[in-house]
Structure 1
Amino acid sequence: MAWRQMLFHTNSSSILVPFSTAGFARFSTKSNPYLVKVGIPEFLNGIGNGVESHVAKLESEIGDFQKLLVTRTLRLKKLGVPCKHRKLILKYTHKYRLGLWRPRAQPIKA
């Protein structure tokens, strides 16, 4: 009932102001120190779980990272990627397109 009142009664006293502050992170308290340029190898290494073993195959057949983001499961199956790895690749490509996940930047080891 309270939501209905807030949504349908739009007088000047019930206008909602969204919470916004410039100093706070929106979704996460941790931030990446720098952004990594994302290609197929960086993306698959970021997924982990053995998916990085398909880097050479996917780079030679698909070629571009933007094409990997729209690749379907049948194409990956024809390339010989096992089911578990296909599921992981498709799950993380969907998250990447929505902006919910990015591969972590690996610190340079000296």
Structure 2
Amino acid sequence: MAWRRMQLLKQNLISLIPSKSNTFIANYSSKSNLYHAKVGIPEFLNGIGNGVETYAEKLESEFGDLQNLLVARSMKLKKINIGGDPKVCKHRKLILKYAHKYRLGLWRPRVEPPKTK
């Protein structure tokens, strides 16, 4: 809620500045890049976690690239035996759930920050 108010306040302030003005407004961010620049199937599965990363080689050989995996359906994953036991579909559901989020731009796999002692 507060973030939305800040965005509206920023838009209102920008609209008050004359268009011919020499005023420069910069957006600074102190956050480093915590996301993969180029995401492939292994990075995608490592980002999901929960044991799904064990299927990286199988999915790469079957689909080739991430775009083909993102449009895959449940039956295709089931046919190549993702999820181990056919009765247990936890991994298949995780892959499909995060693929949908990734397509919509709601989720990206994070790069693990280096551990310091």
TM-score, normalized by length of structure 1? 0.69
Cα separation, 1, equivalents of 2:95 and 2:34: 23
Aligned residues: 89
SS in 2 for 1:102: coil
Residue 107 of structure 2 is aligned to residue 101 of structure 1? yes
Query: Root-mean-square deviation (CA), in Å?
Result: 2.7
Equivalent residue number for residue 56 of structure 2:
55
1:75-103 deviations in Å (ceiling 9; x for gaps): 00001011110100000000001111000
Identity %: 62
Cα separation, 2, equivalents of 1:35 and 1:56: 22
In the alignment, structure 1 segments of 5+ residues that lack a partner are 1-17, 26-30
Residue 91 of structure 2 is aligned to residue 85 of structure 1? yes
Cα separation, 2, equivalents of 1:45 and 1:100: 17
Are the structure 2 counterparts of residues 20 and 66 from structure 1 closer, same or farther at C-alpha, using a change threshold of 3 Å?
farther
Within 5 A, what are the aligned runs for 1:11-22?
19=8, 21=10
1:36-64 deviations in Å (ceiling 9; x for gaps): 11000000000000000000000001111
Are the structure 2 counterparts of residues 96 and 20 from structure 1 closer, same or farther at C-alpha, using a change threshold of 3 Å?
farther
**1:66, distance to aligned residue in structure 2 (A):** 0.4
Cα separation, 1, equivalents of 2:104 and 2:9: 22
Aligned residue type for 2:96:
L
Cα separation, 1, equivalents of 2:98 and 2:9: 29
In the alignment, structure 2 segments of 5+ residues that lack a partner are 1-6, 11-25, 84-88
